[in-house]
Structure 1
Amino acid sequence: MEKEKSKIGRIVDTKIIKRLYAYTKPYRFTFYGVVLLTLLIAVLGPIRPYLVQYAVDNYMIEGKENLLLQITWVMIALLALQTIVQYAHTYYSGWLGQTIIKDIRLQLYQKILSLRLKFFDKTPIGRLVTRNISDIETLSNVFGDGIAAIVADILQILAILVMMFLTNWRLTLVSLSMLPFLLITTYIFKEKIKVAFAQVRTAVANLNTFVQEHISGMNIVQIFAMEEQEAQKFNEINKEHRKANLKSVLYYSVYFPVAEIISAAGTGLLVWYGAGEVIEEYTTLGVLIAFMMYISLFFRPIRMIADRFNTLQLAIVSSERVLNLLDNQEDVMPNGNLRPNGLQGDIRFENVWFAYNDEHWVLKDVSFHARPGETIAFVGATGAGKSSIINLINRFYEIQRGQILIDNTPIQQYDLATLRSHIGVVLQDVFLFSGSIRENITLGNPDISDETIWQAAELVGAKSFIEKLNGGLDYQVMERGATLSVGQRQLISFIRAMVYKPEIIILDEATSSVDTETEELIQEAIAKLMQGRTAIVIAHRLSTIQHADKIIVLDKGEIKEIGTHEELLKQNGYYAKLYQMQFVGEYV
């Protein structure tokens, strides 16, 4: 399993910020509202200490109780306003972040759907899960606890500094005497926690990848009794995750107490020096009380800003990963614009060369012609290139040389969705989603009625077993169809192919996973399914393809023989030997 490596980016990448800002345009009124609320928070913060100073110096000491009551009500109203503004800022910045990541997550998933299979061959599924869920969730911090919160903190710090210097510059300098120590501590914490957070994100991605792969392949793990070894591997990855998280916990547990001590030392110096100022009547008691409030308001955002910067930095890293995937054009299948209502089913391969990578050819100079309504069967050893033929007809991969035409038109000119909607595929390894039988057959297509489903089910002989299921078409299939037999899953895949009424049908080892009785049951259905349609059939059991119009023998990516069953037997070549081996095997 390939592990994802740690990546630490810059704190603020302006290019990424600009890209993310573009997503706010549909919600620009909310965005600018959040900006306005941020400014209000910065302005309202220093007002309360000033009102306390004014009340102490002008009303409390002089005994003006009526005026003191009035200013108390003003402070209560200000506190209520601050509460409302803070609530609105928190809520709408969170709403904006969640709404934007909803849009980005949808866009990312649509992008993943557009990627060619070659991309999934080289990319762990767990990593894509991390991109679509964890990374995008972290990305929301750019709009929530990230930029908006940092800007609010910085503006509040500046506003407090201005008020402090305007009130008493000497007390301001004393109050800020511990600031260099706090800044140094904050910088060290920021650098350390940045590395730790990057390691945490990497550990999460590796955990997701490992768990997804091994749960999907649990049958292999248990068949080979590898539970203990796989548990040990997971334990090592889990330890890395724990180690990364504990490192971040350690930095937090050290930083915040140290920052609190430094802040307390600053407050202590202020009280010591300010008390002398008050005694000497160089300043007033109200100013000293206000400064104690100012310094509390000043140091709080400084303590938090390092954490916010690292949260933002993590969000930037996650954003870069997500945007890189969104920008991926190399693995996007180019789409044509031809959208015919139907196909004749004429398939032609002309000197096709194909490789999954550039070094090893899977198909070499393959040429054949399947006329409308013909059944073409492919036989050959494992790795001969049979399944690659199917992948290329569906245009899951691009060929390197030659040309593939359907109805005398290069397949690159067809709209992909339209092309594939006219091709029905029944694979040996049937994949069923969690959901009802109906949903697995229609795949969410509302145009397919229950009547159409039952007609197809009756044709393939699956109606009786579906009726016996609890709920019939509403029977809930467990993940990957675990509660159904292999034969039942295969029959459902036949129904799924038939209800879409394709002009081209592809059967890839479609009966190799079913028992003899089930195979006999669906052979007649296959014959009906292929009537009037071009059929491409891959089978190891030669008895299922004897009536094919043309049989093509592949060996190591090259066509060795072409002909009917009888013609190939007369040639006494590869096909004849394979047939004799199977015939003898059945009757010995």
Structure 2
Amino acid sequence: MSPEKFLLMYAKRYWYLFLVGTLLSLILTILEVLPPRLMKTAIDAFLTGRGLSSADRFHGVVSIALAILGIRALSFLFGFASSYVTGYAGAKIVFLMRKDVFSHVISLPYSFFTRTPSGTITTRIVNDTQNIQEFFSSVVTSVIMDVLLLGAVIFSLVQISKELFGHVYYLLPLVAVSILLFRYFDRKAYRKVRTNLARLNAFLAEHIAGVSIIKILNLEKYKEKEFSKVSSDYYKSLMEQLYVFGIFRPLMDFLYFLGVSLIIWYGAKYVTNKTLGFGVLYAFVSYLDMFFRPLRDLSEKYDIIQNSMASSEKIVNLLKEKREFIGNPDGPRRIFKGFLRFENVWFSYNGNDWILRDVNLDFHPGKLYAIVGETGAGKSTLMSLINGLYVPQRGTIYIDNIPLLEYNLRFARKQIAAVPQDVLLFSGTILDNIRLFDETISENQVLEALERVHALDIIERLPGGIYYEIVERGTTLSAGERQLIALARAVLFDAKIFILDEATSNVDVITEMRIQESLRELSRERTVIMIAHRLSTVKDADEIVVVHEGRVVERGRHSDLLKKKGVYYKLYQIQFESV
């Protein structure tokens, strides 16, 4: 879909508002071209005309002055109505557009967010849609009015004096060529502006989120230089666009004054020879000024047009991203037991380098499992595959002997609880974050879930308890508190499969004991899988799975794996010899 078709698709929804705006523009155009004609009549008929008494001249001039005043008053009223109607249409269109774009973004696969900076996505949803709103609110009916006005002015110029028009008509091709050149160079410059703005937003979003790391590592000076480079690129693209504007606007002024000079030169001769009235000359110059007025404003309007075209082009490209595959919409929605099986699973993020190789695993409810291995072995990838965030290139993942992709993943994911190392909490209260803003879930149910994960006493010590307000992604809470809240959330929604990715790596010993105790109790009825680096946290697991270079190389209990003196034994030696 082209940017033009994209904008038209939304404009069609409010065609009646744009029709009203067009009719108002037509009325405004008629009102705009009347005053020069009335001034012509005032000058030629009443001021310089012959055979009229002073009283008749006075009454005639006063009548025309009142008529012009009335026209200007009507222009104000219709102009206000036009601005309100188009502004309302633009606001409604962008309101719908933002909803559609956000809805599409959150339906995209997880891989999209791993390769696209969050600042770029924010720019598309906020800044680019705002540019489009300005287009609908300020440009659409304005351009229609300008076209109507130009047509009416040219007609008036020819009608008032063909002789004078014959001396300036050749300016029209020069104006047309200037506009075409401006259009080409401005569009080229504005694409650079939008691209560099997205880079700037992405840089800011990334580095503001990671400001703690910048301070800890003393990277302020280095990041200042890096930001200066990104900001400089944006500045250069703005200056390139400014050069285009700096040439076009004065060029329009030059062509206007050239036309006025020619009209005064030839008009003075006609007036002197009395073959042309002074009122005609005045009206012709007024219409010439009226002709160049929208052309002078074209740079600003075309700036908005190019801005909106560039923005809509980027939004269209975003909307072209394929939505996430959510399994079978008509498939099973309920996981009953939580029996999990990997059968000959191969997976690669880029299609070339295999992260997992021929993985065969099974996890049964009622047992506590642990997955260990060196960094990059593929442990966290297993979690992403179980949730359906990624789809393996080969092999099949089964839940309760049904292929994962046969489930309706929107419902199945609610029953697969994933607790990452860094738990993200939303702005709101702890209550909101545990029940995920579902007000049909009672407070007592939330308190019961906290009790089951041994976190109720910790949460009650916070100001307000479960009504404690969470801000900035939950950074005011400790890592352990966030982990416990995530566990309570999973218990509340009756997840059948629990996956914890390094959930105890950043918590204190007491909180780790609470989490371990909670997991042991939860594993009696559910499938619980711990992904860990620290082997001390997995010693009591019912079964430990060792992953090495993307393959499952060992399985068993802690004591049995140590006796084998294989990969697990080496990992254990490395960790505990370094302590």
Normalised by the size of structure 1, how large is the TM-score? 0.90
Structure 2: gaps of 5 or more residues: none
In structure 1, the residue corresponding to 2:353 is in which secondary structure? coil
In structure 2, the residue corresponding to 1:207 is in which secondary structure? helix
Query: How far apart are residue 489 of structure 1 and its match?
Result: 2.3
Pick from 64, 75, 78: which aligns with 1:82? 75
In structure 2, the residue corresponding to 1:45 is in which secondary structure? helix
Q: Partner residue of 2:405?
A: 412
Q: Partner residue of 1:73?
A: 66
Query: How far apart are residue 583 of structure 1 and its match?
Result: 5.9
Given that 1:437 and 1:475 are in contact with CA atoms closer than 8 Å, whether structure 2 keeps it comes out as yes
Q: How far apart are the structure 1 equivalents of 2:272 and 2:284?
A: 16
Pick from 305, 325, 334: which aligns with 1:333? 325
Specify the code of the residue in structure 2 equivalent to 1:345.
Answer: G
Q: Partner residue of 1:289?
A: 282
Q: How far apart are the structure 2 equivalents of 1:255 and 1:540?
A: 64
Task: After superposing the two structures, state which structure 1 stretch, 293-302 or 369-378, moved more.
Answer: 369-378
Q: Partner residue of 1:236?
A: 229
In structure 1, the residue corresponding to 2:166 is in which secondary structure? helix
Q: Tell me if 1:540 matches 2:533.
A: yes
Q: Partner residue of 2:204?
A: 211
Q: How far apart are the structure 2 equivalents of 1:440 and 1:97?
A: 35
Query: How far apart are residue 367 of structure 1 and its match?
Result: 1.3
Q: Partner residue of 2:11?
A: 24
In structure 1, the residue corresponding to 2:344 is in which secondary structure? strand
Specify the code of the residue in structure 2 equivalent to 1:48.
Answer: P
Q: How far apart are the structure 2 equivalents of 1:581 and 1:206?
A: 43
Query: How far apart are residue 339 of structure 1 and its match?
Result: 4.8
Task: After superposing the two structures, state which structure 1 stretch, 359-368 or 35-44, moved more.
Answer: 35-44
Query: How far apart are residue 324 of structure 1 and its match?
Result: 1.5
Q: Partner residue of 1:96?
A: 89
Given that 1:150 and 1:309 are in contact with CA atoms closer than 8 Å, whether structure 2 keeps it comes out as no
Q: Tell me if 1:381 matches 2:368.
A: no
Specify the code of the residue in structure 2 equivalent to 1:526.
Answer: L
Distance verdict in 2 for CA 1:523–1:493, change over 3 Å: same
Given that 1:176 and 1:266 are in contact with CA atoms closer than 8 Å, whether structure 2 keeps it comes out as no
Given that 1:351 and 1:403 are in contact with CA atoms closer than 8 Å, whether structure 2 keeps it comes out as yes
Write out aligned runs for 1:464-483 (5 A). Answer: 464-483=457-476
Given that 1:362 and 1:385 are in contact with CA atoms closer than 8 Å, whether structure 2 keeps it comes out as yes
Task: After superposing the two structures, state which structure 1 stretch, 555-564 or 81-90, moved more.
Answer: 81-90
String of CA shifts for 1:63-121, please: whole Å, max 9, x gaps: 34445444443333322222222222222222222221221221111111111121222
Q: How far apart are the structure 2 equivalents of 1:540 and 1:261?
A: 73
In structure 1, the residue corresponding to 2:312 is in which secondary structure? helix
Task: After superposing the two structures, state which structure 1 stretch, 549-558 or 138-147, moved more.
Answer: 138-147
Q: Partner residue of 1:58?
A: 45
Given that 2:252 and 2:295 are in contact with CA atoms closer than 8 Å, whether structure 1 keeps it comes out as no
Pick from 319, 322, 345: which aligns with 2:315? 322
Distance verdict in 2 for CA 1:532–1:291, change over 3 Å: same
Specify the code of the residue in structure 1 equivalent to 2:328.
Answer: G
Given that 2:249 and 2:299 are in contact with CA atoms closer than 8 Å, whether structure 1 keeps it comes out as no
Specify the code of the residue in structure 2 equivalent to 1:380.
Answer: G
Specify the code of the residue in structure 2 equivalent to 1:126.
Answer: G
In structure 1, the residue corresponding to 2:338 is in which secondary structure? coil
Q: Partner residue of 1:162?
A: 155
Query: How far apart are residue 176 of structure 1 and its match?
Result: 4.5
Write out aligned runs for 1:47-446 (5 A). Answer: 47-60=34-47, 61=49, 62=52, 63-176=56-169, 178-179=171-172, 182-183=175-176, 185-329=178-322, 332-337=324-329, 338-446=331-439
Given that 2:171 and 2:255 are in contact with CA atoms closer than 8 Å, whether structure 1 keeps it comes out as yes
String of CA shifts for 1:525-564, please: whole Å, max 9, x gaps: 2223333111122123334434434322111111112233
Q: Partner residue of 2:20?
A: 33
Structure 1: gaps of 5 or more residues: 1-13
Query: How far apart are residue 187 of structure 1 and its match?
Result: 4.7
In structure 1, the residue corresponding to 2:106 is in which secondary structure? helix
Distance verdict in 2 for CA 1:134–1:450, change over 3 Å: same
Query: How far apart are residue 518 of structure 1 and its match?
Result: 1.7
Specify the code of the residue in structure 2 equivalent to 1:24.
Answer: A
Given that 2:365 and 2:524 are in contact with CA atoms closer than 8 Å, whether structure 1 keeps it comes out as no
In structure 1, the residue corresponding to 2:346 is in which secondary structure? strand
Given that 2:384 and 2:390 are in contact with CA atoms closer than 8 Å, whether structure 1 keeps it comes out as yes
Q: How far apart are the structure 2 equivalents of 1:180 and 1:28?
A: 34
String of CA shifts for 1:442-478, please: whole Å, max 9, x gaps: 3322233322222222333433333333333333323
Q: Partner residue of 1:11?
A: none
Distance verdict in 2 for CA 1:581–1:203, change over 3 Å: closer
Write out aligned runs for 1:509-548 (5 A). Answer: 509-548=502-541
Q: How far apart are the structure 1 equivalents of 2:574 and 2:515?
A: 25
Given that 1:147 and 1:312 are in contact with CA atoms closer than 8 Å, whether structure 2 keeps it comes out as no
Query: How far apart are residue 148 of structure 1 and its match?
Result: 3.2
Task: After superposing the two structures, state which structure 1 stretch, 248-257 or 45-54, moved more.
Answer: 248-257
Query: How far apart are residue 361 of structure 1 and its match?
Result: 0.7
The alignment of Structure 1 onto Structure 2 pairs a total of residues equal to: 572
Task: After superposing the two structures, state which structure 1 stretch, 485-494 or 354-363, moved more.
Answer: 485-494
Query: How far apart are residue 572 of structure 1 and its match?
Result: 3.7
Given that 2:335 and 2:412 are in contact with CA atoms closer than 8 Å, whether structure 1 keeps it comes out as no
Task: After superposing the two structures, state which structure 1 stretch, 538-547 or 345-354, moved more.
Answer: 538-547
Query: How far apart are residue 282 of structure 1 and its match?
Result: 1.2
String of CA shifts for 1:327-348, please: whole Å, max 9, x gaps: 222x632442125245321211
Write out aligned runs for 1:504-583 (5 A). Answer: 504-579=497-572
In structure 2, the residue corresponding to 1:281 is in which secondary structure? coil
Q: How far apart are the structure 1 equivalents of 2:326 and 2:510?
A: 44
Query: How far apart are residue 190 of structure 1 and its match?
Result: 4.2
User: What value does the CA root-mean-square deviation take over the aligned residues?
Assistant: 2.6
Q: How far apart are the structure 1 equivalents of 2:530 and 2:111?
A: 23
Given that 1:39 and 1:152 are in contact with CA atoms closer than 8 Å, whether structure 2 keeps it comes out as yes
Q: How far apart are the structure 1 equivalents of 2:391 and 2:25?
A: 52
In structure 2, the residue corresponding to 1:214 is in which secondary structure? helix
Q: How far apart are the structure 1 equivalents of 2:96 and 2:496?
A: 37
Given that 1:145 and 1:312 are in contact with CA atoms closer than 8 Å, whether structure 2 keeps it comes out as no
Query: How far apart are residue 192 of structure 1 and its match?
Result: 4.0
Q: Partner residue of 1:5?
A: none
Task: After superposing the two structures, state which structure 1 stretch, 452-461 or 421-430, moved more.
Answer: 452-461
In structure 2, the residue corresponding to 1:114 is in which secondary structure? coil
Specify the code of the residue in structure 2 equivalent to 1:130.
Answer: T
Query: How far apart are residue 166 of structure 1 and its match?
Result: 1.2
Given that 1:431 and 1:480 are in contact with CA atoms closer than 8 Å, whether structure 2 keeps it comes out as yes
In structure 1, the residue corresponding to 2:126 is in which secondary structure? helix
Q: How far apart are the structure 1 equivalents of 2:571 and 2:225?
A: 45
Q: How far apart are the structure 1 equivalents of 2:168 and 2:576?
A: 96
Q: How far apart are the structure 2 equivalents of 1:402 and 1:27?
A: 50
Distance verdict in 2 for CA 1:16–1:582, change over 3 Å: closer
Normalised by the size of structure 2, how large is the TM-score? 0.91
Task: After superposing the two structures, state which structure 1 stretch, 55-64 or 236-245, moved more.
Answer: 55-64
Task: After superposing the two structures, state which structure 1 stretch, 345-354 or 458-467, moved more.
Answer: 458-467
